[in-house]
Amino acid sequence: MEKPAVLKTDGSDFPDVLDYQSGFGNHFSSEAISGALPPDQNSPLICPFGLYAEQISGTAFTAPRKLNQRSWLYRIKPSVTHEPFKPRVPAHEKLVSEFDRSNTSANPTQLRWKPVDIPDSPTDFIDGLYTMCGAGSAFLRHGYAIHMYAASKSMDNCAFCNADGDFLIVPQKGKLWITTECGMLQVSPGEIVVLPQGFRFAVDLPDGPARGYVAEIFGTHFQLPDLGPIGANGLAAPRDFLVPTAWFEDASRPGFTIVQKFGGELFTAKQDFSPFNVVAWHGNYVPYKYDLSKFCPYNTVLLDHSDPSINTVLTAPTDKPGVALLDFVIFPPRWLVAEHTFRPPYYHRNCMSEFMGLVFGGYEVNCYHI
């Protein structure tokens, strides 16, 4: 039987242009080799090219159709063919996923901090992660964590998988080249990328040292906010969200390590092949990126100020209508026009905690922050 072509990279040679598919929540399909997608079935007795069919689910099988998220991957070797997971040694001491009073402390004071320095020692994305704050529990599947990362080198012969929740990554310094099981994503400061729970990925640093923010949510997924009186258009447009196209690596990778985050702890498993061996895939559960400059903000044009929620890009809803587990809100460059009111946004105390980070510009001036 015909074997798939060999496509591989050593992490130092990046394509000049990547192809993407567009849309938010669409059902996508992509194949790196024509004919690799089964035409009539998800899991035929024999897949084209002798590939293995795997389904990755982001929701329960029985979730309502409009909420159900899953994709079918067609890969050269099954993802389960690795050694048993073992606790990572040394342990990562700066990651937190359980936010109860036994292992964390609360402080109601407003806090500010300076950006951390890029480590002098070689530090990849995984080791460069550290938790700033959070609430809830990864084990209870409800809550969130806010992390930051500061990395000085690309991930080498390893991939990361977050079994606790979704990562929303906001680069602040340095471009990220992210290889996923669905394909490749290039993400620069001013863009965001969402890596859903369960997907394996690797982060390379084509421009050198990198730093940024990470929002992690447990037990739910991001979605576009309802627009209400705004109408059919505005804020983040679904067509501006980009997902990768199929790309695969068919090569022996002795000692390749899968690093899995589970319950806030890191575990490792060895395998002798790349996890990025998916030749074709289809579904609506997929990594995606978004260029924040495409966000269409709305603003006050007469008196008083709109609530900051008017700038929501993505939201992670709860079962309580109108209440989010986490909102991702941006304040891009925009006109601030209002009569008979103090121009800067009003001071407010509310039932939600706010974590603000600067991407471009200067703090407390017309800037670009989240």
pLDDT more than 90, % of the chain: 68
Residue with tokens 């998988």: 161
* CA distance linking residue 90 with residue 95, whole number of Å: 13
Query: pLDDT at position 152, please?
Result: 96
DSSP code of 176? E
- For 257-306, what is each residue's pLDDT tens digit? 999 999 889 999 999 999 999 999 999 999 999 999 999 988 877 787 78
Mean pLDDT of the chain: 89
Q: Is 40 exposed, middle or buried (0-12, 13-18, 19+ CB in 10 A)?
A: exposed
Q: Would the annotation count 363 as a binding residue?
A: yes
Higher-confidence residue of 210 and 4: namely 210
117 pLDDT above the threshold of 50: yes
Distance of CA 136 to the CA centre of its chain: 19
Judge whether 340 counts as a catalytic residue. Answer: no
The architecture CATH gives domain 20-288:
Sandwich (2.60)
Q: Would the annotation count 339 as a binding residue?
A: no
* CA distance linking residue 341 with residue 303, whole number of Å: 6
- For 47-98, what is each residue's pLDDT tens digit? 999 999 999 999 999 999 999 999 999 999 999 999 999 999 888 989 988 8
- C-alpha distances in angstroms, 205 versus 130, 202, 296? 18, 10, 30
Q: Would the annotation count 221 as a binding residue?
A: no
- For 202-247, what is each residue's pLDDT tens digit? 999 999 999 999 999 999 999 999 998 888 999 999 999 999 999 9
Catalytic residue among 82, 142, 221, 305: 305
Domain segments of the chain: what residues?
A: 20-288
Higher-confidence residue of 367 and 275: namely 275
- For 336-365, what is each residue's pLDDT tens digit? 777 887 766 677 777 888 888 888 877 655
Query: pLDDT at position 367, please?
Result: 47
DSSP code of 79? T
- Sheet of 176-180: strands edge to edge? 86-87, 265-273, 252-262, 158-162, 200-204, 176-180, 183-187
Residues 343, 356 contacting (CB under 8 angstroms): no
